Amino acid sequence: MTALTGIDNAVTSARQPETIRVPEIEPGVGCNFDSYLLVPDTSLDDRIGRAVARLGREVVILGHHYQRDEVIRWAHFRGDSLRLSQQAAAADARYIVFCGVHFMAESADILRRPHQTVILPDRNAGCSMADMASIEQVEACWDELESVGGLHVVPVTYMNSSAAIKGFTGRHGGAVCTSSNAAAVLQWAFQRGDRVLFLPDEHLGRNTAYRMGVPLDRMVIWDPFQPLGGHTPQALRAARILLWKGYCSVHQRFRPEHVDRARAADPQVRVIVHPECRWEVVQKADFVGSTEQIIRTVVAAEPGSHWAVGTEIHLVNRLGKELTDRRVQSLDPNVCVCTTMFRIAPQHLLWVLENLVEGRVVNPIVVDAETKAYARLALERMLALC
């Protein structure tokens, strides 16, 4: 159970360095990734273990819960976006290897100390939701809102956004949020302005604001491809929250009929979903919570309980495998996999670690200084609230 959750931030899954004898790693093996595609699966673990042991305290490996088993087992710390950003801010190691997606590694680079370097094992591990709000679109939106006049908007951006958008948010007096703390950050923002521009996930924004008492008819969707987001100035003035038209392609797959079917198939089942799911799904579920909250709830449930979970499949399968005294399955029988998280393969992890052993940094993630300063402000506003 501890291995599953990593809730106590213990080093739960990485091989223990002191138990491994460390043979020399051949000089020169590390530089070219293509050669790593040929590393047989049987030797991957040994080589990763040796590299981790050689690097010792020089490296910390952070792993998001949606990573595949072969990768997450090497994480010194597991977590959702919030916990991993806290870990990145607290880490001492010189190298932070982030097994997650690009926006998470950028956030770690924004929060890191000067002597540290953040590495993303595969730079192609992006996030389709983060890509749905470009800085140019968000700047244009802000200009349009200003042209309406008198709106007093505070921007809040979900962690799942680019460093540029976090920088924009910090520069305009706003804060970052994650799915664990979105209500606290929204409350903070509502105290500072008349309305909130929530980027880039319409579902998290709607689900959170609704639970805080904002009625649906005081929410509008901002479509970046329409003038004024698709609204009249009057409609914008009447709104409490402007929801950017973006979504997670994994969580948006869950539909209300999946909840109905799960209940029809098993009347005992309890449904728990992530707040990136559609509002209609969240309304039907028994529980809604961030990744970390989902884990806590299912782990704390009584043995024998049945769960249908609306989140990424690697986490759901891991819960099912490790909590053998209860039934845990996906809310959607068709696989809901985050293909960009899945890009990080053990081969990539081995590649970056063996290069570090040889003194080479591959795939560093570096946010420029000006963006970093404002993005840090937005992230620190969030971290101060949780």
- List residues near ligand 13P by CB under 6 A: 80-82, 160, 178-180, 248, 276, 290-291
Among the listed residues 254, 247, 242, the one whose alpha carbon sits nearest the alpha carbon of residue 129: 247
Q: Which residues contact 75 (CB under 8 A, 6 or more apart)?
A: 6, 12, 13, 14, 61, 62, 63, 67, 99
In this chain, which of 48, 52, 108, 127 binds ligand SF4, going by CB under 6 A? 127
Pair 349, 69: CB distance under 8 Å: no
CA 344 to chain centre: 14
By a kind-dependent CB cut-off of 5 to 8 A, residue 330 interacts, out of ligand 13P, ligand SF4, none, with: none
Work out how close the CB of 376 gets to ligand SF4 at its nearest, in angstroms, rounded to a whole number: 22
- Residue among 9, 128, 305, 317 that touches ligand SF4 (CB under 6 A): 128
- For ligand 13P, the closer of residues 13 and 179 by Cβ is 179
Closest to ligand SF4 by CB, 87 or 160: 160
Q: Which is nearer to ligand 13P, 153 or 338 (by Cβ)?
A: 338
- Tokens standing for residue 170: 């910090």
Both structure tokens of 315: 């986490």
304: left (phi over 0), alpha (psi -120 to 50) or beta: left
Q: SS3 of 294, please?
A: helix
Residue 291, contacted partner among ligand SF4, ligand 13P, none, CB below 5-8 A by kind:
ligand 13P
From the list ligand SF4, ligand 13P, none, partner contacted by residue 295 (C-beta under 5 to 8 A by kind): none
From the list 106-114, 231-239, 248-256, 263-271, the region that binds ligand SF4 by CB under 6 A is 248-256
Distances (CA, A) of 303 to 164, 198, 268, 292, 361: 45, 39, 13, 19, 46
Does 249 bind ligand SF4 (CB under 6 A)? Our answer is yes
Strand order in the sheet with 95-99: 77-79, 59-64, 95-99, 117-119
Sole binder of ligand SF4 in the list 111, 197, 323, 338 (CB under 6 A)? 338
Residue closer to ligand SF4 by CB (options 226, 339) is 339
Nearest CA among 136, 128, 100, 94 for reference residue 114: 94
- Taking CB under 6 A as the criterion, which residues in 55-74 touch ligand SF4? 66
One of 67, 160, 180, 291 touching ligand SF4 (CB under 6 A): 160
Alpha-carbon distances of 236 from 14, 151, 208, 309, 362, rounded to whole Å: 51, 8, 19, 36, 46
Residue 128 interacts, among ligand SF4, ligand 13P, none and using kind-specific CB cut-offs from 5 to 8 Å, with: ligand SF4
Nearest to 246 by CA among 217, 224, 218, 227: 224
Using rule CB under 6 A, residue 341 touches ligand SF4: yes
Stretch that binds ligand SF4, among 126-134, 140-148, 261-269, 378-386 (CB under 6 A): 126-134
Binder of residue 365, out of ligand SF4, ligand 13P, none (CB less than 5 to 8 A by kind): none
Two tokens, residue 138: 């968000």
**Shortest separation between residue 233's beta carbon and ligand SF4, angstroms:** 32
